[in-house]
Structure 1
Amino acid sequence: MNMRLFSTLSRSLTVRRQRPALVLPAIPTPRETKQLSDVDDQQDLGEELHPPFPGLEELVFNVPGSNAILHSPLLLIQVTRLQCGGFIFAIRFNHAMADGIGLAQFKIALAEIARGSSAPSVSPVWMRELLIAQDPPRITSSVRHEIDFLPSIIRAQLPPEEDFVRKSFFFGKSEISALRASLPLYLRNKCSDFVVLTACLWRCRIFALQPDPDEEVSVYYTVNARSRFHPPLPIGYYGNALAISGEQTTAGELMKNPYYYAAELVMKSTVRIKEKRFESATDKLSPLGKLPKISLESAYMVSDLTRLGFDEVDFGWGKPVYAGPAAEPIPGISTFHISANNKHGEKGIVVPMSLPGFVMERLSEELKKVVSNSKP
């Protein structure tokens, strides 16, 4: 799986201070206000700088032969200078090399060196042998069906990508507080922002897709497993150390029950995580036979990137305007929670989504209705 991620910063990558120069425009500047991208035209929960980005293929050039997992470049970096004086720092990396935490460590290290450090504050650790499966693999009873999800994504039954419409939804403090306030008291203070948003979007997504009520639907999310092994993985480990957790129900149960039913399911899966499951997951991901296909309706996967620190990376000229994925790795199934500020400076969470056009319209309407009904 190749992923693309970029940051928009406020100056050039090379830290070099010079006397300011006045550059006259070639033609008179139009007397109107232009937003940085047309993403600001969407009338959803927010109107901010976030995916989908127009001209993405120009900002992260698709080098021939770089799409595959094998026999493909592990890392591609492209820096695009903007006429306004800023730049876009784009990374395309092979997910077999590192996870989001490893990529964040790499960007932080690169930024430290750009600012003059002779070495990164956290030295990289490449001890991949720590996660080699046992021989023979041993699966404990605590390993659930959700671990089958990761290898099954290559067999997903999805519509053609050109049929998808991409939108992002911004959830500020008021939206998250309203959703939390709609939960029963016994859940209100136990659920994290991640649980609140994941439950809301999973349920709204099912309403928009309108699958058969008897169809099994699942929500999955990635969990950082670095501290959950014996002994814990060393600080600075760059490789993949993620586990997949999740919960399952039927579409009918999810739609007929209140929103807090979904929140309960998501919260249970976060509480249920045990150390031995992560150790077993390494074995489970070894080839053990055929895996089931997944569909657009049956699977929804979320990764929480709000605490990785992408938005704090400073190459010497300040923090980025936006830092996070440029697109979803599995359109239609996967998404991210990304830290972002809106145009008023309010900090919140952006969630990009890809769905067929008519489904996206229903999702947008359902989200508006749920958030509006939750507000006092």
Structure 2
Amino acid sequence: MSFAVTRTSRSLIAPSEATPRGSLGLSVIDRVPALRSMVRLLHVFAHGREPARVIREALSKALVKYYPFAGRFAYDPDGSGEVRIVCTGEGAWFVEAKTDCSLEDVKYLESPLMIPEDALLPKPSLDVPLMMQVTEFGGGGFVVGLIFPHTIADGLGIAQFINAVADIARGLPKPTVEPAWLREVIPNPPKLPPGVPPAFPSVKLLYATVDLSPDHINHVKSQHLELTGQRCSTFDVVISNLWQSRTRAIGLDPGVDVHVCFFANTRHLLPQVLPPEGGYYGNCIYPMTATASSGWVASADLIDVISIIREAKARLPDEFAKWAAGDFKDDPYEFTLTYNSLFVTDWTRLGFLDVDYGWGKPLHVIPFACLDIMAIGIIGAPPAPQKGTRVTTRCVEKEHMQAFLEEMKGFA
């Protein structure tokens, strides 16, 4: 069956009160070229009463505090290519839509989607920092589709903003977290001279969704504790499963190095310049990479793979401090997007699952990969009330998909 979505309204939602004007600079992390990509996600809610109207009004009020989201991106006229936010107050792009079917009819948007993602998301625009679509379903359910450029916020930052909109939708007079721009306090180490342009693979990566059971994850955690005397996290188990499964599936020469890169929050490493109560919503992440030969990752015991992931995590404070001081040879933010590299991001602790516009938290959150050419795995949760961990991937070509799914099935 096909289910049609009709967009009934498109408009710019300006802040409900006057906001500061002028130009705001971005941090050196915000300006990383690989972060000039669009993050797209869907929030699926079981029910709501006039959700489009409620969210539209709350968005307008939230933009008073988060006024950069109502501005526009602009490049410096000096030819440097540096991007800035011009606080124009023009507003965020907001689309209202309807469909006659119920969420039950489309299996609550479980994978594979019975409605194309593009029908539930606003059409992206590169100069608008925030785009939102609220689609109302028959029976009262609704879906919030969100697009934002990674340049203005990381995952924690955009979740903070969306929760601010939800706070106001629920009737609070202002967001519970006071936002902080503060891009000027983020370390800005000396720039390296331009190097070799980053490599981009000529591959077509396919989506796949895999759920890992809590029993499997807890079993591996117990094994790790028994064999090493140390506790490991769900993240450690999941990223190791994913990296090993993908490495086995793509079948590179055993001597070729494979890499897994994950993005670590560094707010706690900047206590002298960022507010202790939180609120900073810019990019405050550092890429940590674990590297080993393809043959070793494919054949190693999972506990040993977990160990090198944990070793990479443990290096974060030292590596970030060295980067901040300019003590590095290679720019860690200059990613090489080759097929032997896997990028992983964890969405379980960002706050997306806590968003409540007044009718309860989302049934689930559906993320989409930022770049078609980046092999990525996004760690999230399956729809409530299911337990465990869901991994949304876009990391293998068609010829490797079946082998990848078979490998991941062994960990389910």
Is the partner of 2:267 in helix, strand or coil? coil
Indicate if the aligned counterparts of 1:337 and 1:350 stay in contact, CA closer than 8 A. yes
Distance in structure 2 (CA, Å) of the matches to 1:286 and 1:95:
26
Is the partner of 1:329 in helix, strand or coil? coil
In structure 2, the CA distance between the partners of 1:159 and 1:53, relative to structure 1 (3 Å rule), is farther
1:281 CA displacement: 5.1
Q: Which residue number corresponds to residue 3 of structure 1?
A: 39
Q: How does 1:323-362 map to 2 (within 5 A)?
A: 323-325=365-367, 327-331=368-372, 333-341=375-383, 345-354=385-394, 355-362=396-403
Higher relative contact order (CA 8 A, sep 6+): 1
In structure 2, the CA distance between the partners of 1:313 and 1:284, relative to structure 1 (3 Å rule), is farther
The answer to whether structure 1 residue 58 and structure 2 residue 58 are counterparts is: no
Indicate if the aligned counterparts of 1:209 and 1:359 stay in contact, CA closer than 8 A. yes
1:293 CA displacement: 4.0
In structure 2, the CA distance between the partners of 1:285 and 1:78, relative to structure 1 (3 Å rule), is farther
Indicate if the aligned counterparts of 2:198 and 2:334 stay in contact, CA closer than 8 A. no
Please give the TM-score of this superposition, normalised by the length of structure 2: 0.70
Instruction: Letter of the 2:234 partner, please give it.
Output: D
1:159 CA displacement: 0.6
Distance in structure 1 (CA, Å) of the matches to 2:283 and 2:308:
26
Distance in structure 2 (CA, Å) of the matches to 1:190 and 1:35:
40
Tell me whether 362-371 or 78-87 shows the greater mean CA deviation.
362-371
The answer to whether structure 1 residue 301 and structure 2 residue 343 are counterparts is: yes
Write the deviation string for residues 107-153 of structure 1: whole angstroms up to 9, x where unpaired.
1110011111221111110010011514x459xxxxxxxxx9xx999
2:107 to 15, 36, 45: 36
Distance in structure 1 (CA, Å) of the matches to 2:375 and 2:197:
9
1:319 CA displacement: 1.1
Instruction: Letter of the 1:356 partner, please give it.
Output: E
2:130 to 75, 83, 93: 75
Unaligned runs of at least 5 residues, structure 1: 17-25, 40-48, 139-147, 372-376
Q: Which residue number corresponds to residue 159 of structure 1?
A: 203
Distance in structure 1 (CA, Å) of the matches to 2:284 and 2:112:
26
Q: Which residue number corresponds to residue 194 of structure 1?
A: 235
Q: Which residue number corresponds to residue 221 of structure 2?
A: 180
1:255 CA displacement: 1.6
Instruction: Letter of the 1:157 partner, please give it.
Output: P
1:158 CA displacement: 3.8
The answer to whether structure 1 residue 274 and structure 2 residue 335 are counterparts is: no
In structure 2, the CA distance between the partners of 1:93 and 1:188, relative to structure 1 (3 Å rule), is farther
1:101 to 156, 160, 171: 156
Indicate if the aligned counterparts of 1:218 and 1:299 stay in contact, CA closer than 8 A. yes
Distance in structure 1 (CA, Å) of the matches to 2:328 and 2:42:
30
1:262 CA displacement: 1.1
1:85 to 119, 127, 140: 140
In structure 2, the CA distance between the partners of 1:53 and 1:201, relative to structure 1 (3 Å rule), is farther
Q: How does 1:227-266 map to 2 (within 5 A)?
A: 227-229=268-270, 231-234=272-275, 235-266=278-309
Is the partner of 1:350 in helix, strand or coil? strand
1:190 CA displacement: 1.7
Write the deviation string for residues 212-252 of structure 1: whole angstroms up to 9, x where unpaired.
11111111111110010251522201100001112111101
Indicate if the aligned counterparts of 1:167 and 1:353 stay in contact, CA closer than 8 A. yes
Is the partner of 1:227 in helix, strand or coil? helix
In structure 2, the CA distance between the partners of 1:188 and 1:264, relative to structure 1 (3 Å rule), is same
Instruction: Letter of the 2:201 partner, please give it.
Output: Q
Write the deviation string for residues 62-83 of structure 1: whole angstroms up to 9, x where unpaired.
24xx2x5xxx221111111112
In structure 2, the CA distance between the partners of 1:188 and 1:8, relative to structure 1 (3 Å rule), is farther
Tell me whether 178-187 or 236-245 shows the greater mean CA deviation.
178-187
The answer to whether structure 1 residue 210 and structure 2 residue 251 are counterparts is: yes
Please give the TM-score of this superposition, normalised by the length of structure 1: 0.76
Instruction: Letter of the 2:139 partner, please give it.
Output: C
Instruction: Letter of the 1:329 partner, please give it.
Output: C
Indicate if the aligned counterparts of 2:122 and 2:146 stay in contact, CA closer than 8 A. no
Write the deviation string for residues 257-295 of structure 1: whole angstroms up to 9, x where unpaired.
222221111011112221562461585899979968431
Q: How does 1:313-324 map to 2 (within 5 A)?
A: 313-324=355-366
Is the partner of 2:173 in helix, strand or coil? coil
Among all aligned residue pairs of Structure 1 and Structure 2, give the percentage whose two residues are the same amino acid.
25
Instruction: Letter of the 1:159 partner, please give it.
Output: V
Write the deviation string for residues 282-335 of structure 1: whole angstroms up to 9, x where unpaired.
858999799684312x2111111111221111101111111242x111345112
Structure with the largest fraction of strand = 2
In structure 2, the CA distance between the partners of 1:78 and 1:285, relative to structure 1 (3 Å rule), is farther
Indicate if the aligned counterparts of 1:225 and 1:278 stay in contact, CA closer than 8 A. no
2:167 to 107, 112, 133: 112
Number of aligned residue pairs: 323
In structure 2, the CA distance between the partners of 1:315 and 1:360, relative to structure 1 (3 Å rule), is same
Unaligned runs of at least 5 residues, structure 2: 1-36, 56-99
Q: Which residue number corresponds to residue 312 of structure 1?
A: 354
Instruction: Letter of the 1:3 partner, please give it.
Output: V
1:58 CA displacement: 0.7
Q: Superposition RMSD on alpha carbons, in Å? A: 3.3
Distance in structure 1 (CA, Å) of the matches to 2:381 and 2:361:
13
Is the partner of 1:108 in helix, strand or coil? helix
Q: Which residue number corresponds to residue 46 of structure 1?
A: none
The answer to whether structure 1 residue 219 and structure 2 residue 260 are counterparts is: yes
